[in-house]
Amino acid sequence: MSANYALKEEIRDYWSSRAESFDSAFGHRIPPGPEREAWQAAIRRHLGAAPLEVLELACGTGEVTGALRRLGHRVTGLDFSEAMLARARAKHAGDAGARFFLADAEHTREPEGRYDAVVCRHLVWTLTDPEAALADWFRVLKPGGHLLVFDGDFAAPAGLPGRLAKRMLGWLDRWEGTAPPHTPDLDRHAAIMRELPFADGLTPEKLAPMVARLGFTAVECHPHAPIARAQRQGASLRNRLRTLLYRRFILHARKP
């Protein structure tokens, strides 16, 4: 067994263990109201208004799928966790415009030139071979197709605001008691991160040149701030601080 395979199996097991409670995690679920509207506005801005054939990678429990479907896009969702897919299928049961398959986002095995857009959220930083994955995503896109990535640097707090947010979250933990963490096993999460190519953080400055090198054009990075602002509306102090912790971004590119 290769070390890469062993790491991917560890990643699969880890995210499968999170499936049951994932929809209750702040920042994962996309609730109706300002946050859903902000997500849909970001998607519409980059993909346009016309319905597209979208390949959604690491679709998880189908939250971004819902935003895509409400905009009229037809979605094929791939994930390599059966536990996540079970929840996505249940959530979108009866919707002929959303279908879900067990597959590896780094090697999709989808037909060449099949999709108008490839979309993913919080996936790229977890890839074990990001260049191979991006090459595969380029392959499955039609000429003129879109790559739309929502991701972030989760290795370190985002400058002074992130450091202050982390400190205040620590104070809240001491004052109120530790809140349920985003992850069921923070040590396991940290151990996985240390083995990844983006262990020291995924930034637009790292990702954009890689995307361009693999043949994409019109590569642009945009702030995640409009979505973060929407997330803060009505959120608890703890969750408002969480939106400040890390530098998140949106990358959009096209296949020539």
pLDDT of residue 1: 42
The CATH number for 217's domain is: 3.40.50.150
Cα separation values, 96 from 71, 73, 99, 100, 102, Å:
15, 11, 7, 11, 18
pLDDT of residue 177: 66
Smallest CA-to-CA distance from 247 within 182, 162, 181 is with 162
| Residue 52: both structure tokens together | 């597209």
Query: pLDDT digit of tens for each residue in the chain (256 aa)?
Result: 455 658 778 777 776 777 677 887 888 999 999 999 999 999 999 999 999 999 999 999 999 999 999 999 999 999 999 999 999 999 999 999 999 999 999 999 999 999 999 999 999 999 999 999 999 999 999 999 999 999 999 998 999 999 999 999 989 888 876 555 554 566 777 788 888 999 999 999 999 999 999 999 999 999 999 999 999 999 999 999 999 999 999 999 999 9
Burial 50-65 (b: 16+ CB within 10 A, else e): eebebbbbbbbbbbbb
H helices, E strands: number in the chain: 10, 7
The CA distance from 12 to 164, in Å, is 33
Q: What is the pTM of this model?
A: 0.92
Q: Which amino acid is at 4?
A: N
Neighbours of 214 (CB within 10 A): 19
The structural domain count of the chain equals 1
Residues spanned by the domain of 201: 3-254
pLDDT of residue 11: 76
Going along the chain, which residue ranges are E strands? 53-57, 74-79, 98-102, 115-121, 141-153, 217-223, 247-254
